[in-house]
Structure 1
Amino acid sequence: MINKMKLAENIYSIAKVDDRDVPFHRLTLTKGTTYNSYLLNTDKPTIIDTVDISFGKEFVDSLKATIDLMKIQYIVINHTEPDHSGGLGSLASQAKNATIVCTDKAVEELKEMYKLHNRNFLVVRDGDKLDIGGKTLIFLETPYLHTEETMITYCIEDKILFPCDIFSTHIANTEVFNDLAKYDIFEDFKVYYTLIMHPHRKHVQYMINKIKNLDIQIIAPSHGFVLRTEINKYIALYDELSRNTSTNKSAVVIYSTMTSNTKKLSQNIVEYLAAEGISSSSIDVNKTSKEEVLEKISSSDIVLFGSSTRYGDMIGSLEDILKELKAMDLSNKLLAAFGSYGWSGEAIEVIQDYLLETNAKVLDTSTVIKSTGMSDVAFPIRVRFSAKEESLKGLERACEYIGSLALNAI
């Protein structure tokens, strides 16, 4: 069913209530969920987010009963994931005059996903404002909450924050507002934060800093209840939990280098892991005794092994260490491979092969994607030649992911 509710003057929630056991990120939402879209019926009618792709036609048919779709001037997409943007294809085909509003990184995704190559897009950046005829929207970029292209939208006049996935709950509800809920939703709110947002807790803090000076009277997320009471309580939970970054975990980065590129990578990894609250150090395997290296592996929670590649192989004495791993009990450890290379980087993959022969938890891209949906975090970590801005960004994201695992006790 589509549930409609007035939030403020000329602002309406248009929500698809999905009361099934909903498959979601390889979980099952036993309480269902809602997909919340919002209609701002101003002089320049605007839609903020849509619904899951499965319910696009139902969503558009419901909107037709409320507004002439040809009058819609803007469609704001805060986040491109299909449970929010999924109705865009159906809506855009009938709201032919609408300009699609999103971040720069969202444009190509939306064009490809919904065949919108010939539509008008308005790219907005942090702090940009948009007059929609009687109301003013301000846009704030919130990358990695929980994907890179994400932003949030704030209506200045009505003091409503539209944060898409942020501040959501997975509950199939028809009451719409949190103060009308039949039970205390706070635990559901906390569970949602833990599953979806906490792996990106550093970026939660960035978001908190961006909204701290906004006068927020209503939070209208894209899943679950609209929050219109105890607003500060819900924001405070995000702030408190995202500050809890003490892991009590230690890491060692073991490397063999040829031109110092891999050494520099190891130093970057130590720096980034330290930012995640992980006590870290690095060891040049060619300047340290085998016994000392093996002892450091035994005493660490997280171990990264890296090498440069020369003629399709590792260099130095790293392989002597890797051969010892299979006989060790590493069941409570997290392992990862990394390295720099100039051509094909075989050494990094050989390291990964050795790690997969152990009983440790070994990081790989497939597991990251299946468990989080993040496609910008890759293992093994491969950097061609020396690390530059883009590869350092990827390296930092990989360390953030390691940090999230450490915080959850690996």
Structure 2
Amino acid sequence: MENNIMLNKDIFWVGKVDDRDVPFHRLTLTRGTTYNSYLLMTEKPTIIDTVDMKFGREFVENLKNIIELEKIAYIIINHTEPDHSGALGSLATFAKNAVIVCSKLAVVELKEMYKLHNREFLVIGDGDTLDIGGKTLRFIETPYLHTAETIVTYCVEDKILFSCDIFSTHIANYEYFNDIAKEDIKNDYIGYYNLIMHPHRRYVQNMIQKIKDLDIKMIAPSHGFILREDVKSYIDIYDTMSKSTKTSKKALILYSSMTGRTKKIASFIMEKFQEQNIVSEVMDINKTSREEVLKAISEAQAIFFGTSTKYADMIGNMEDLLKSLNTINLEGKLGATFGSYGWSGEAIEVVQDYLKQTNIKLLNTSDIIKGTGMIDVQLPIRIRFAANEEDLKNIERAVIYTTDLLLSTI
């Protein structure tokens, strides 16, 4: 473990530089990374985040050289992913008196991941504060940056934002601070934004609004360089990149309905796209000419295909339409499926199979989880009988996700 680096009076970096080729989200970080953990040596000593579980023992042994672990009062976990919380189990074994501080959503995950069912947790929410004896910490919820339970921590007196994954870089470095880096870090900084944050761009804007009135003199992220020079310029990069949108996108919702329930789903999808300022259109493919439908498909950037299920099959003209898609180049377009059903809803899956044979980018939950870590976007949209309140929330999340993809593409 490296030397402990002072950020400000009584605040130290106690993390780990990982200069391997690091496996990360099905990629390899050829420049390595750092796991930034911070120790606040106040009257109530506090750890903010830990390191990857691979280095848990090393992390704990290093801390033993700095502080009696039983004196640690709080362990703050901004994000439960193991590159942040990985050493929590090891640390909690020795820091027997520490209260674990995290968001409500994080509690169950941390208890299950590290067998902490008998430990004391302090659940915090937006705007809550914690006095750690000489310093005040304020907490801000930043969901989906990049998972639902994520928070950031602001030290009021020192004006330091402990920003979790936000404002990070994936670079193994021993300079620690951006103002003494051997090279310009902005390309790596922007690359990290594009990889991790841009798929969640609407939540970046929510975060910007939450921190805009904070006096931030330093940003201490979970990975890479600590930002203490030109801090505002780095915040501005996130602000600018998350606003840069194309506004000429169009969504098309095609459906074939038996009882009217799939039609209602189609109308709701259109309504939610319109709320996102996406031009949208609904078409009943059984009442519209094939030529008109194909023309609309060629003009749209996102196409939702919906059908009811009857005797395990699609209804109306849906199958004929799907067979004719090979006459259109669907490259660059987003596709999704939906429908109401009464038993097992095979027709929705058959539509999926047809779309897989085209070059449309077919949206599905499996790819969303692998690409973003988001587990609450359900595609295809499968509604048994009539949509209930939870179904409508699921549809809205799917539309928001699709909108974010639309606005992220050039």
> Contact conserved, 1:303 with 1:335, CA < 8 A, in 2?
yes
> Contact conserved, 1:252 with 1:297, CA < 8 A, in 2?
yes
Moved more, 61-70 or 326-335: 326-335
Say whether 1:35 aligns with 2:35.
yes
Superimposed CA distance per residue, residues 351-404 of structure 1 (whole angstroms, 9 cap, x where no aligned partner): 111111223222222222222232222321223344444333333332333234
Say whether 1:156 aligns with 2:160.
no
Say whether 1:131 aligns with 2:131.
yes
- The alignment partner of 2:37 has SS state of strand
**TM-aligned CA distance change 1:277 to 1:199, over 3 Å:** farther
Match of residue 115 from structure 1: 115
- The alignment partner of 1:286 has SS state of coil
Superimposed CA distance per residue, residues 77-115 of structure 1 (whole angstroms, 9 cap, x where no aligned partner): 111111111111111111111111111111111111111
Moved more, 367-376 or 27-36: 367-376
- The equivalences for 1:79-118 within 5 A come to 79-118=79-118
Task: Tell me the CA shift for residue 3 of structure 1.
Answer: 4.2
Q: AA paired with 2:333?
A: K
Q: AA paired with 1:45?
A: P
Match of residue 239 from structure 1: 239
Structural RMSD (CA) = 1.9
Match of residue 376 from structure 1: 376
State the distance in 1 between where 2:63 and 2:277 align: 48
Task: Tell me the CA shift for residue 316 of structure 1.
Answer: 3.0
- The alignment partner of 1:163 has SS state of strand
> Contact conserved, 1:251 with 1:280, CA < 8 A, in 2?
yes
Match of residue 168 from structure 1: 168
- The equivalences for 1:204-283 within 5 A come to 204-246=204-246, 248-274=248-274, 278-283=278-283
- The alignment partner of 2:105 has SS state of helix
> Contact conserved, 1:56 with 1:90, CA < 8 A, in 2?
yes
> Contact conserved, 1:25 with 1:373, CA < 8 A, in 2?
no
- The alignment partner of 1:167 has SS state of coil
State the distance in 1 between where 2:93 and 2:30 align: 33
Task: Tell me the CA shift for residue 61 of structure 1.
Answer: 0.9
State the distance in 1 between where 2:347 and 2:407 align: 30
Task: Tell me the CA shift for residue 253 of structure 1.
Answer: 0.9
The answer for unaligned runs of 5 or more in structure 1 is none
Match of residue 181 from structure 1: 181
Q: AA paired with 1:378?
A: Q
Q: What TM-score do you get using the length of structure 2 for normalisation?
A: 0.94
**TM-aligned CA distance change 1:340 to 1:122, over 3 Å:** farther
- The alignment partner of 2:329 has SS state of coil
Task: Tell me the CA shift for residue 274 of structure 1.
Answer: 4.2
> Contact conserved, 1:99 with 1:119, CA < 8 A, in 2?
yes
Superimposed CA distance per residue, residues 210-237 of structure 1 (whole angstroms, 9 cap, x where no aligned partner): 1111111111100001111111101111
> Contact conserved, 1:308 with 1:315, CA < 8 A, in 2?
yes
- The alignment partner of 1:304 has SS state of strand
Match of residue 196 from structure 2: 196
- The equivalences for 1:15-34 within 5 A come to 15-34=15-34
- The alignment partner of 1:39 has SS state of strand
> Contact conserved, 1:307 with 1:339, CA < 8 A, in 2?
yes
- The equivalences for 1:135-146 within 5 A come to 135-146=135-146
> Contact conserved, 1:204 with 1:239, CA < 8 A, in 2?
yes
> Contact conserved, 1:3 with 1:17, CA < 8 A, in 2?
no
- The alignment partner of 2:28 has SS state of strand
> Contact conserved, 2:245 with 2:408, CA < 8 A, in 1?
no
State the distance in 2 between where 1:146 and 1:399 align: 18
Give percent identity, aligned residues only. Answer: 64
Superimposed CA distance per residue, residues 133-171 of structure 1 (whole angstroms, 9 cap, x where no aligned partner): 111111111111111111111111111111100010111
Match of residue 50 from structure 1: 50
Moved more, 232-241 or 276-285: 276-285
Q: What TM-score do you get using the length of structure 1 for normalisation?
A: 0.94
Q: AA paired with 1:134?
A: G
Task: Tell me the CA shift for residue 247 of structure 1.
Answer: 5.1
Match of residue 359 from structure 1: 359
> Contact conserved, 1:247 with 1:406, CA < 8 A, in 2?
no
> Contact conserved, 1:340 with 1:382, CA < 8 A, in 2?
yes
> Contact conserved, 2:78 with 2:151, CA < 8 A, in 1?
yes
**TM-aligned CA distance change 1:383 to 1:13, over 3 Å:** farther
State the distance in 2 between where 1:79 and 1:387 align: 33
Match of residue 12 from structure 1: 12
Task: Tell me the CA shift for residue 276 of structure 1.
Answer: 5.0
Match of residue 78 from structure 2: 78
> Contact conserved, 1:200 with 1:400, CA < 8 A, in 2?
no
- The alignment partner of 1:138 has SS state of strand
Moved more, 34-43 or 351-360: 351-360
Match of residue 325 from structure 1: 325
